[in-house]
């Protein structure tokens, strides 16, 4: 598939889960394809980084489901900040462990999963739909985290084969497998597509994070996580990330025109 | 001896006696403190490289700790986190989500992040690099980290707050904030003027000075002087 074909499967109002963490191994080529597409009113579920920021900048987002949105080396994403401060998006904000718990409940097709995180905090005040549940085995009251089902999951790994088996080569799988298990349609972008035998030889079996029953489409997008990190293929492009953050506070039209007006090939040419 | 070094040893003292647990310091000064503690009073601490690998004091990988494993440790409880705070109140409620109403903040910050789960699952301390009335407020705008006026459950364990001026704990009435010590060169009145509520004050000590050996270790751990950028002067 191509990134634009993935974006073309999205329809207005869908819930889209995005893998990675902060400004790390984000499926940015798929996000950029969404920016170019007509889709809108998305609910975005993410351990948020510039994926959330760019989608907010383009007016694609109705609601964000998140524990944080950060660029890691820059604490706050400027576009998400603006979206929150202008009331442009609804915020379903929760503890980051609750987000994992909700994705897992969806993945396991359960009505809820218990978790202690959230109790006593304003998590329950800002999301009045949340309920607690008393243990049937004792007295303890815990949070009953509801599932966070996804229409679509978008994730980016280092290597994959054309069937949807995928391997990460960096130190952290993040929650990409869980995003895929929680979603109806699952799209994997990768730095390069290799044949299954080569994929098998690239490391131990336990870093084959995704298998083909968890993935519906594979896209080869070299540099597809840019400007977030995709180690060991490349680190975060800190220079470009600073330019992104500064442009959000300055001349955004010039930045968007230079980097986001064309297709993915034009983007990669502009940043190389 | 600099103020930054006093802050580093005060952060190191947070971990004294913690044993074989994961130290999760947020920010350069608590991170230096945790590494110093491991070389001195808390040799069994586990520390990550900030990504997904546990490193021993020599920098040798000794374990794998991706975010999913961190979440497991949070729930398991064998962890001491030192978080930052945009706002803290006398009960230890912490805000890192945003300033103003949550539905539409005047200043959006990080989000709840792991604060709700951390505070109800294991020992939590706070590090505040600039002790001001904007941070130490009568009431926080959004409760992320759970304070003592709320039900934090069976594993709620707020320990201490270290700032650039002082060390505080929750030994005041109703487990409110109490001034434990002021850093050398700081007066109790300085701290009170920089705090937007009145912390409990009885016998206030002076924060201990780092030893010559500790100062040397800090220099080795932080040759670039990151601590001095975090706490100038």
Interface test with B, best of A25, A113, A121 (most B CBs within 10 A): A121
CATH code, B3-230: 3.40.1080.10
- The pLDDT confidence band at residue B37, using thresholds 50, 70 and 90, is very high
- What tokens appear for B175 in the block? 């487990």
**Would you call A85 and B144 a contact, using CB atoms and an 8 Å cutoff?**
no
Phi-psi domain of B4 (left: phi exceeds 0; alpha: psi -120 through 50; beta: other): alpha
Q: pLDDT (tens digit, 9 = 90+) per residue, B136-154?
A: 999 999 999 999 999 999 9
Q: pLDDT (tens digit, 9 = 90+) per residue, A5-48?
A: 999 999 999 999 999 999 999 999 999 999 999 999 999 999 99
For residue B17, what are the contacts with CB-CB under 8 A and spacing of at least 6? Answer: B41, B42
**Would you call B146 and A121 a contact, using CB atoms and an 8 Å cutoff?**
yes
The whole-model pTM stands at 0.97
Question: Among partner residues A93, A118, A171, which is closest to B66 by beta-carbon distance?
Answer: A171
Residue B85 confidence (pLDDT) above 90: yes
Interface test with B, best of A22, A48, A79, A84 (most B CBs within 10 A): A84
Interface test with A, best of B116, B139, B158 (most A CBs within 10 A): B116
- Per-residue pLDDT, B60: 97
- Which of these, B190, B173, B166, lies nearest to B91 by C-alpha position? B173
Interface test with A, best of B108, B122, B144 (most A CBs within 10 A): B108
Average pLDDT of every residue of chain B? 97
Which of chain A's residues have a Cβ under 8 Å away from the Cβ of B85? none
Percentage of chain A surpassing pLDDT 90? Answer: 100
Question: Among partner residues A48, A67, A173, which is closest to B66 by beta-carbon distance?
Answer: A173
SS (H, E, C) A63-74: EEEEEEECCCCC
SS (H, E, C) chain B: CCHHHHHHHHHHHHCCCCCCCEEEECCHHHHHHHHHHHHCCCCCCECECCCCEEECCCCCEEEECCHHHHHHHHHHCCEEEEECCCEECCCCCEECCEECCCCCCCEECCCCCCHHHHHHHCEEEEEECCCCCCCECCCCCCCCECCCCCCCCCCCEEEEEEECCEEEECCCHHHCCEEEEECCCCCHHHHHHCCCCCCECCCCEECCCCCHHHHHHHHHHCCCCHHHHHCCC
What gap in Å lies between CA A117 and CA A142, rounded to an integer?
8
Residue B233 confidence (pLDDT) above 80: no
Q: What are phi and psi of A111, to 5 degrees?
A: -70, -25
- Per-residue pLDDT, A169: 98
The answer to whether B74 contacts chain A (CB < 8 Å) is yes
- Per-residue pLDDT, B33: 98
For residue A43, what are the contacts with CB-CB under 8 A and spacing of at least 6? Answer: A13, A14, A15, A16, A61, A62, A63, A64, A65
**Strands B123-128 and A113-115, how do they pair?**
unpaired
- Per-residue pLDDT, A18: 99
Which of chain A's residues have a Cβ under 8 Å away from the Cβ of B91? none
Three-state SS at A223: coil
Sheet holding B22-25, edge to edge: B22-25, B79-83, B123-128, B157-163, B166-169, B178-182, B205-206
Q: Is the peptide bond before A232 cis (omega within 30 degrees of 0)?
A: yes
Q: Is the peptide bond before B119 cis (omega within 30 degrees of 0)?
A: no
Question: Among partner residues B68, B71, B146, which is closest to A120 by beta-carbon distance?
Answer: B146
Residue for token pair 């989000």: B111
Q: pLDDT (tens digit, 9 = 90+) per residue, B171-212?
A: 999 999 999 999 999 999 999 999 999 999 999 999 999 999
What gap in Å lies between CA A123 and CA A102, rounded to an integer?
14
The answer to whether B156 contacts chain A (CB < 8 Å) is yes
Q: pLDDT (tens digit, 9 = 90+) per residue, A180-218?
A: 999 999 999 999 999 999 999 999 999 999 999 999 999
Closest-CA residue of chain A to B75: A116
The answer to whether A63 contacts chain B (CB < 8 Å) is no
Closest-CA residue of chain A to B63: A171
Which of chain B's residues have a Cβ under 8 Å away from the Cβ of A69? 110-111
Q: pLDDT (tens digit, 9 = 90+) per residue, A104-131?
A: 999 999 999 999 999 999 999 999 999 9
The answer to whether B71 contacts chain A (CB < 8 Å) is yes
Average pLDDT of every residue of chain A? 98
Count Cβ–Cβ pairs < 8 Å, chain A vs chain B. Answer: 133
Instruction: State how far residue B98 is from chain A, nearest Cα, in angstroms.
Output: 9
- The pLDDT confidence band at residue A73, using thresholds 50, 70 and 90, is very high
Average pLDDT over residues B97-107: 98
Q: Domain spans of chain B?
A: 3-230
């Amino acid at each position: 598939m191509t990134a634009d074909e993935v974006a073309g499967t999205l329809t207005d109002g869908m819930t889209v889960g995005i893998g990675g963490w902060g400004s790390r191994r984000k499926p940015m080529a798929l996000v950029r394809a969404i920016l170019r597409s007509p889709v809108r009113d998305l609910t975005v579920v993410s351990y948020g980084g510039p994926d959330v920021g760019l989608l907010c900048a383009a007016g694609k987002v109705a609601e964000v489901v998140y524990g944080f949105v950060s660029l890691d080396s820059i604490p706050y994403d400027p576009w998400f900040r603006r979206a929150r401060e202008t009331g442009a998006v609804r915020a379903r904000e929760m503890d980051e462990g609750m987000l994992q718990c909700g994705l897992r409940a969806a993945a396991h097709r359960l009505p809820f999963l218990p978790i202690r995180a959230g109790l006593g905090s304003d998590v329950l005040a800002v999301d009045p739909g949340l309920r607690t549940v008393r243990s049937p085995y004792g007295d303890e009251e815990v949070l009953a985290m509801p599932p966070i089902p996804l229409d679509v999951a978008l994730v980016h790994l280092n290597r994959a084969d054309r069937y949807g088996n995928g391997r990460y080569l960096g130190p952290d799988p993040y929650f990409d497998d869980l995003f895929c298990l929680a979603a109806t349609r699952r799209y994997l972008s990768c730095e390069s597509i290799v044949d299954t035998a080569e994929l098998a030889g690239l490391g131990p079996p336990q870093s084959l994070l995704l298998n083909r029953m968890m993935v519906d489409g594979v896209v080869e997008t070299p540099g597809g996580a840019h400007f977030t990190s995709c180690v060991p293929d490349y680190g975060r492009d800190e220079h470009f990330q600073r330019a992104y953050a500064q442009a959000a506070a300055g001349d955004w039209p010039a930045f968007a025109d230079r980097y986001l007006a064309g297709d993915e090939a034009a983007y990669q040419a502009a940043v190389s | 001896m600099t103020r930054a070094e006093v802050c580093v040893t005060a952060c190191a003292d947070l971990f004294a006696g913690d044993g074989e647990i994961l130290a999760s310091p947020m920010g350069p000064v608590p991170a230096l403190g945790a590494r110093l503690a491991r070389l001195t009073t808390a040799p069994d601490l586990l520390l990550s490289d900030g990504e997904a690998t546990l490193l021993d004091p020599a920098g040798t990988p000794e374990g794998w700790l991706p975010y999913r494993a961190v979440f497991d440790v949070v729930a398991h409880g064998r962890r001491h986190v030192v978080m930052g705070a945009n706002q803290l109140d006398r009960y230890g409620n912490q805000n890192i989500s945003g300033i103003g109403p949550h539905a539409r903040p005047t200043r959006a910050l990080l989000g709840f992040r792991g604060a709700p789960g951390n505070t109800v699952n294991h020992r939590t301390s706070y590090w505040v690099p600039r002790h001001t009335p904007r941070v130490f407020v009568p009431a926080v705008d959004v409760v992320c980290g759970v304070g003592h006026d709320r039900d934090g459950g069976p594993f709620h364990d707020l320990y201490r707050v270290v700032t650039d001026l002082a060390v505080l704990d929750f030994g005041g009435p109703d487990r409110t904030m109490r001034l434990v010590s002021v850093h050398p060169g700081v007066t109790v009145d300085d701290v009170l003027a920089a705090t937007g509520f009145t912390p409990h004050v009885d016998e206030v000590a002076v924060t201990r000075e780092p030893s010559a050996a500790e100062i040397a270790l800090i220099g080795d751990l932080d040759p670039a002087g990151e601590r001095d950028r975090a706490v100038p002067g």
